[in-house]
Structure 1
Amino acid sequence: YKGRVVRTKNSIRGMMEVAEEGKAVFLGENQGGYIFPDFMPCFDGMYSVCKLIEFLAREKVKLSDLAAEIPPIRIAKRTIPCSQEQKGLVMRLAIDKLRKTEKIEMIDGLKFWQDGEWALILPETVRPEIHLYAEARTEKRAHLLLDKYQKIIEAIKEG
């Protein structure tokens, strides 16, 4: 549909700031919230439903047909204990260790891309832990990505 993806922080505040700046016509987040800045620079479920119905009518497609086009993906999550004092060190050394061999996106945490799949190292802001997410074509592959990055995190923590 000739759109362009612009990645933002995955937070309500971050998305609303982008909406306010007029840099996007549509914003979506991973929990199913959507923002249409031309209408209002915040989430509105009813407006989102109306826009979906409008799109289906205009394109003359059924929702089930669109859903069938979405390839299956698997997202896995793991939480790793990590002291508040170690979080910064883990992030810095992970960048140093991986920047030459992997594509890193640093919008929210550290996201490592590989062949359309990714892993995200995201420090918890309050609790002494790091969240590790992976998205892959299969559940097994997602867990392999989690294993890979958990080993890196644990090695950094152990010094």
Structure 2
Amino acid sequence: MYETTLQEKKIEGAYFKEDMRRALIHEVGDVAYPSQVIDRYCTAFEKLLHVSTLTNSRAKIVIDYVYAVSGAVLPQMLDKFGADAVVLNASLNKHAVTTADREGLLTQLGHVVEALKANFGVQVSANGEQLILVDESGFPIRGEMLTALMVDMILTSNPRGTVVVPVHASSAVEQVARRHDGRVIRTKANPTALMEACQRNSNVVLGGSGDTGFIFPQLHPGFDSMFCIAKIIEMLTIQERSLATARSELPRVIHRTQTIRCPWTAKGALMRYLVETHPAQNLELIDGVKIGQPFDDNWLLVLPDASEPLVHLYANSGDRDWVDDTIRNYRHRVQTFVERQQEYHPAEV
């Protein structure tokens, strides 16, 4: 069941204020535990893959679960398809893995992939929703590069397909889509918007990004790194290329981001200021304020953070100097505006 954003806010507001009628004892329902969930998932998983292609690929991959995800399902599925899955760090750890530890494990994963001469490696996180790839040379593929790579592979297999990405994804997505006569839909920068757009629009073959994870709408509306891994094996086999080759064929785009502190009360005023000081034809207001010429790969996005008193700047271009100059200019403009707002409202933080 999908709720509109307004309905979500009303429900959350009522919940946190405890402004609701308590259910009577006879109104409390039962907790239902669906049966054979894993079996049903595996059946749907298999139906959407070219099993013979996977079986013939004889792929060898290395999967790092970073002590946070149960590795029970995927290795069994890959073994069924004839792939050789080497699993690392699959035991559950009650202590959260730090960013530094995760980076160390990613470096280790690259060394293992090289040593075993595996096709590629993958580091899984967020309970199986997100992933970072490592190509056969040990090079990590993540973030915007991973987004563009997945779009390229999926549209190579599905020409004229539609992909859904968040508003801040790099212009490499559009450049790749043009190669395959594909269509790109951009959404607000949150998982709910991505999932809704994948279900609402026809012919969507992929949704998400390297940061959020990837959605395959034909399977289910959520982010799924397990299916993504199997799909990558399938696509690389059919397309007869390696992950490093696919990476080398991506467009060269400079995409930088910076974060600036901005009080909650200044966010709305900042957005209005940006809208009022730029021509309407140069603005895109999907989420935040995106400034650039129509159909141009040079743009800057000012995006308020949804949960912190911050704004994020994203600058995108094929020209590194343009990106550096633009993000420096707008960082100064935003900081100056915020400081001026704080002079008027000194108690607000």
After TM superposition, the score normalised by the length of structure 2 is 0.41
The offset of 1:139, in angstroms, is 4.3
Q: Which residue of 2 aligns with 1:147?
A: 328
SS of equivalent residue, structure 1 residue 125: coil
Aligned-residue offset at 1:149: 1.6
For 1:65, the equivalent position in structure 2 comes to 245
- Matches of 1:110 and 1:30, distance apart in 2: 22
Correspondence for 1:110: 289
Unaligned runs of 5+ in 1: none
Q: Is the 8 A contact 2:259 2:310 kept in 1?
A: yes
Report if aligned partners of 1:82, 1:128 keep a CA contact under 8 Å in 2: yes
Residues 1:39 and 2:216 aligned together: no
Distance 1:99 1:63 in 2: 42
3-state SS of the aligned residue for 1:42? Answer: coil
Q: CA RMSD in A?
A: 2.2
Are 2:178 and 1:13 aligned? no
What count of residue pairs does the alignment treat as equivalent? 158
Instruction: Give structure 2 stretches of 5+ with no counterpart.
Output: 1-179, 342-349
What percent identity do the matched residue pairs reach? Answer: 31
Instruction: Name the structure, 1 or 2, with higher relative contact order (CA <8 Å, separation 6+).
Output: 1
Letter in 2 for 1:133: Y
CA distance in 1, matches of 2:292, 2:222: 29
Q: Given residue 270 of structure 2, which amino acid in structure 1 is its aligned partner?
A: V
The two structures have a TM-score, normalised by structure 1, of 0.84
- Structure-1 residue corresponding to 2:177: none
Structure 1 residue matching 2:287: 3-state secondary structure: coil
Q: Distance in 1 between matches of 2:242 and 2:302?
A: 37
Cα deviation, residue 22, structure 1: 4.5
Residue in 1 that maps onto 2:141: none
Matches within 5 A, 1:51-130: 51-100=231-280, 103-114=282-293, 115-130=296-311
Please tell me the residue identity of whatever aligns with 2:284. E
Cα offset, 1:16, TM superposition: 1.2
Pick which of 3-12 and 110-119 moved more: 110-119
| Cα displacement (A) at 1:138 | 4.8
2: distance between equivalents of 1:7 and 1:112? 15
Distance in 2 (alpha carbons) for counterparts of 1:140 and 1:32: 29
